[in-house]
Amino acid sequence: DAGVIQSPRHEVTEMGQEVTLRCKPISGHNSLFWYRQTMMRGLELLIYFNNNVPIDDSGMPEDRFSAKMPNASFSTLKIQPSEPRDSAVYFCASSLEDRPYEQYFGPGTRLTVT
């Protein structure tokens, strides 16, 4: 089976531009998580969904960030406008409803904002 799929793997953009990161969770998984990883702050949970519904978005940094999950097989994380401090690796992870803590991570998207 395919694991969690993220695209793009690398994104370089200029400050002020809109960035959209995409994630396809493992088929059958009910929960989806977006994380951000930086050297300074480590791994931070941004938002997670259960059955396509956002449950906890307290980690979303500010209004420039938004996430959607229109169906069980697709989610997006959008940053608009992007800033240099948004540069990080963004991970998507998914899990089964009866094993919520056994999360399967995608390979990540490395975002660089210049």
Partner 1 sequence: GNSVTQMEGPVTLSEEAFLTINCTYTATGYPSLFWYVQYPGEGLQLLLKATKADDKGSNKGFEATYRKETTSFHLEKGSVQVSDSAVYFCALNKNQAGTALIFGKGTTLSVSS
- Give contact residues for partner 1 (rule: CB under 8 A): 4, 31, 33, 42-43, 45, 48, 50, 55-56, 91, 93, 95, 100-108
CA distance 27 to 37: 25
108 Cβ neighbours under 8 A, 6+ residues apart? 6, 9, 37, 89, 90, 91
Of 19 and 93, the one with the shorter C-beta distance to partner 1 is 93
Nearest to 103 by CA among 25, 39, 42, 51: 25
Radius of gyration of the chain (CA): 13
Distance of closest approach, residue 52 Cβ to partner 1, in angstroms = 14
Quote the least distance from Cβ 31 to partner 1, whole Å: 6
Give whichever of 108 and 111 is closer to partner 1, judged by the CB atom: 108
CB of 70 to partner 1, least distance (A): 21
